[in-house]
Amino acid sequence: MVFSSMIFLWVFLPLTLVLSRVFRGRVCNLLLLAASLVFYAWGEPVYVLLMIFSILFNYVTGLLIGKAEESSKLTLKKTWLILGIVGNILLLGYYKYCDFFIGILNDTFFRNAPLELKYISLPIGISFFTFQAMSYIIDLYRGKYPAQKNLFSLALYISFFPQLIAGPIVRYEDMEAQLSKRDVNADLTIEGFRRFIYGLAKKVIISNTLAQTTAYFWSMEGEQMAPLYAWTSAIFYTLQIYYDFSGYSDMAIGLGKMFGFTIPENFNYPYMSASVSEFWRRWHMTLGAWFREYVYIPLGGSRKGKVRTCINLAIVFFLTGLWHGAAYQFVLWGIYYAFFMVIERAFLKKWLDKHRIVGHIYTLFVVVIGWVMFSTTTAQNAIYVLGKKMFLIYDAPELVPYVTYRFLSAKKVIIGILAIIGCGPLQLAGQKLNLTEKWKGSIAELIFCGLIFVYCVITLAAGTYNPFIYFRF
């Protein structure tokens, strides 16, 4: 089930919201847990058992870590932590990376008698709920909170449907108090609806429209991919993925507010960045915080000199690429960003801080090229599009091809322009002119939200193209 579906908007959400107001306390938590399991099982009934297994595994691991802490058996405590981390990684690795690693073995050692691929379907959201579960047992080991003895409370933390299948990645310490007591009031509910509607509009009106162009581009045969098509599609995809993922995050945060939960922000206008390192502080912030807290800092962070810092950054971004997908293009994408993070850390960042306009242009260029790698089906396709179609342009007639209405209509151009304005410049102008606070909660905003919600519903009812990019991670 997805947020931008009629069954969610008109059945699941209203029913869950009404029942959450009827029942309070632990009964409400049980209701939300049941709703979350139904939400996840809607598309993949079998894999809900996998998530339940993950919940039980981490619940028991947490109890064992807590018991070892109480008895001051520190070695045993560390052993349970290691087993917990290994168990989570094996679970994620089997379902997400099994065929990828078999392919590597076949290419390296078994070319003549290749191993048989498993063709395992990827459970939706497994990367997200596994990372949340790992953060629970790691921070428990660090002594940030006692072990959660209520199985249903921990299950709700791991499976809470607003952020279950595409984040934001929520740490247990941010949810612990809210699981037992939280404030649910009219103001928070209204703010939740407001945030949800903006996220829905980002997804349905902007991202879905831009997705039609990018999908059409990737359906072309190689020689039909004219340079103008390639660059236009790359820019559109850059906007599409931002509005797709930030729109989903906005909806998740809004839904959390409706049920009394505060879910952390995931985006802070990343395309306004003036360096790649700043971009990654603004893009998918909860994932960046996870890798910083549980990988970068344990490796030594920036405490052991420049060389070690650069190595740590390279490891983090290699893993970030691999986290996004079990394919060579994601590894290439991670290494690509690792390169820029290292050179900025080594010397470039100081210069970029003094020349923010140049830094902004440089960052956008790097990011657009990065999204081409990210959006392709294989590393070979990425190299082909970047090399032959975007940079090594040698076929003069292709420079200014006739852009057909199928590829770039007037509506898509207008949406593209609005997307550029809305990913930072509009908000920045509103803040400088002191219009943001005046707009928020005003009658004009209420009417605006109502109109865009109606338009979104009409668009969804028409059965338009409605993919979610981050569902495959």
Question: What is the pLDDT at residue 467?
Answer: 65
- Give the chain's mean pLDDT: 88
Question: What is the pLDDT at residue 44?
Answer: 75
pLDDT tens, 236-281? 999 999 999 999 999 999 999 999 999 999 999 999 999 999 999 9
pLDDT tens, 362-371? 999 999 999 9
Rounded Cα distance, 462 and 355, in Å: 47
**The pair of three-digit structure tokens given for residue 299, joined into one six-digit string:** 């490796």
pLDDT tens, 329-340? 999 999 999 999
CB 354 within 8 A of CB 305: no
Rounded Cα distance, 403 and 315, in Å: 42
Cis peptide before 168 (omega within 30 of 0): yes
Single-letter amino acid code for the residue at 468: F
Token look-up 């928070």 returns: 188
Going from the C-alpha of 131 to that of each of 8, 125, 468, the distances in angstroms are 26, 10, 20
Question: What is the pLDDT at residue 230?
Answer: 82
Q: Residue 376 above 60 pLDDT? A: yes
pLDDT tens, 99-136? 889 888 888 888 877 888 888 888 888 999 999 999 99
Question: What is the pLDDT at residue 399?
Answer: 45
Question: What is the pLDDT at residue 314?
Answer: 93
**What is the DSSP secondary structure assignment for residue 471, as one 8-state letter?**
G
Rounded Cα distance, 264 and 266, in Å: 6
Instruction: Report residue 310: phi and psi, to 5°.
Output: -65, -40
Token look-up 């990645």 returns: 169
Taking the CA atoms of the chain, what radius of gyration do you get in angstroms?
Answer: 23
The stretches of 259-305 forming alpha helices (DSSP H) are: 276-282, 285-291
Rounded Cα distance, 416 and 12, in Å: 32
Token look-up 């076949």 returns: 106
Rounded Cα distance, 350 and 3, in Å: 42
pLDDT tens, 64-109? 999 998 888 888 999 999 999 999 999 999 999 998 898 888 888 8
Question: What is the pLDDT at residue 461?
Answer: 84
Where residue 438 falls among pLDDT bands split at 50, 70, 90? Answer: confident
User: Could you tell me which residues come within 8 angstroms of residue 247 by beta carbon, excluding any fewer than 6 positions away?
Assistant: 198, 199, 200, 201, 202, 203, 206, 207
Query: In the chain, count of helices (H) and strands (E)?
Result: 22, 0
Question: What is the pLDDT at residue 407?
Answer: 65
Which one of 284, 324, 355, 360 is the catalytic residue?
324
Annotation marks residue 324 as catalytic: yes
Rounded Cα distance, 348 and 233, in Å: 29
Q: Which residue has the higher pLDDT, 412 or 200?
A: 200
Where residue 396 falls among pLDDT bands split at 50, 70, 90? Answer: very low
Question: What is the pLDDT at residue 368?
Answer: 95
